[in-house]
Structure 1
Amino acid sequence: MTDLTLYFADPTDSAAYLNAKLSYYIDAWDLAECCQHAHPHCIVLDVRSAEHYSLGHIPGAVNFPHREMNELTLRQLSQHDNYVTYCDGIGCNGSTKGALKLAQAGFRVKELIGGLDFWRRDNHPIIAGSEPKTWPTVVDQVDCGC
């Protein structure tokens, strides 16, 4: 019989890893909480193309395609804010590319786990159009149980 402890990390190592993981990622429920309460220093960036953004995006998200991020365009962002990047979902690495560019430029950033796909799966609102708009006043949400 195999010793299962060989396949589990030391609790101290696990705690350090999991704490670090939480500093890099945010899930849809936690982000929805930030968006719903319009947290002033949490800026959500939809890093997809303007066309995809206009078809549906997270309320309050600003469209800033990762392909347009560079030293000059990133100057419009505040170093005092915290940024969350997202794209379509786990099959897309646009949010990672955007987050990397932000981090390399000195910004605090997290990625949305599962992107817009997981956001939709959790029944959070989507808004169409080319403007960020605000969180809807009436939202019928189901608690995830976390």
Structure 2
Amino acid sequence: MSAVLSSGLATAVESEIFFAAQLQFRTDSADLAADLIAAEPQIVVIDTRSVAHYQAAHIPGAISFPHRLMTAESTADWDRSKVYVTYCDGIGCNGSTWGAYKLAKLGFVVKELIGGIDWWQRDGYAISTGDEPGVLLASSIECGC
């Protein structure tokens, strides 16, 4: 018997619902880079890692906000009309998931960046260092999909 088929199959409708939900909750480096280059005003990128990790390398335009510091008080002045994209180190780290969870629980609209800064760099996008967010000015990289 097929190993792929042994766990059962979802119907086409179930698959559509599942994959639509994934797209609602996550984004990838190419889509985020396109929005950063376009200076999309609705998007705010949040680096959920420690300040030291942010200073060493972060996505241009991202602000440092470790997920452990996210509370109603620390986000009281944030704009709830924005979409917050959280990221961490990569797929072996759940800091972006914690950040997205905490922000959603506080009433913010969030998405999680697939693969974090690891996949951002693997895809060839620039990084910033230090305390300032920086700006992603341009990219000659095109999504391969």
Shorter-chain TM band = over 0.9
Query: Matched residues in 2 for 1:133 and 1:6: separation?
Result: 46
Q: Could you tell me which residue of structure 1 aligns to residue 69 of structure 2?
A: 68
Specify the code of the residue in structure 1 equivalent to 2:144. Answer: G
Specify the code of the residue in structure 1 equivalent to 2:58. Answer: H
Deviations 1:72-122 (A, max 9, x none): 001121100000000000111100110000000111001000000000000
- 1:127 matched to 2:124? The reply is no
**Structure 1: gaps (5+ residues):** none
Q: Could you tell me which residue of structure 1 aligns to residue 119 of structure 2?
A: 118
- C-alpha distance 123-76 of structure 1, shift in aligned 2 (>3 A): same
Query: Matched residues in 2 for 1:6 and 1:61: separation?
Result: 40
Q: Could you tell me which residue of structure 2 aligns to residue 144 of structure 1?
A: 143
Specify the code of the residue in structure 2 equivalent to 1:49. Answer: S
Q: How many residues align?
A: 144
Query: Matched residues in 1 for 2:14 and 2:6: separation?
Result: 13
**Structure 2: gaps (5+ residues):** none
Runs of 4+ with deviation above 3 angstroms: 1-6
Post-superposition offset of 1:134: 1.3
SS across alignment from 1:73 = coil
CA contact (8 A) 2:33 2:136 kept: no
Compare 65-74 and 3-12 and name the one that shifted more.
3-12
- Root-mean-square deviation (Å): 1.7
Query: Matched residues in 2 for 1:6 and 1:139: separation?
Result: 41
- Tell me the TM-score normalized by structure 1: 0.92
Query: Matched residues in 2 for 1:38 and 1:71: separation?
Result: 27
Query: Matched residues in 1 for 2:122 and 2:77: separation?
Result: 32
Q: Could you tell me which residue of structure 1 aligns to residue 93 of structure 2?
A: 92
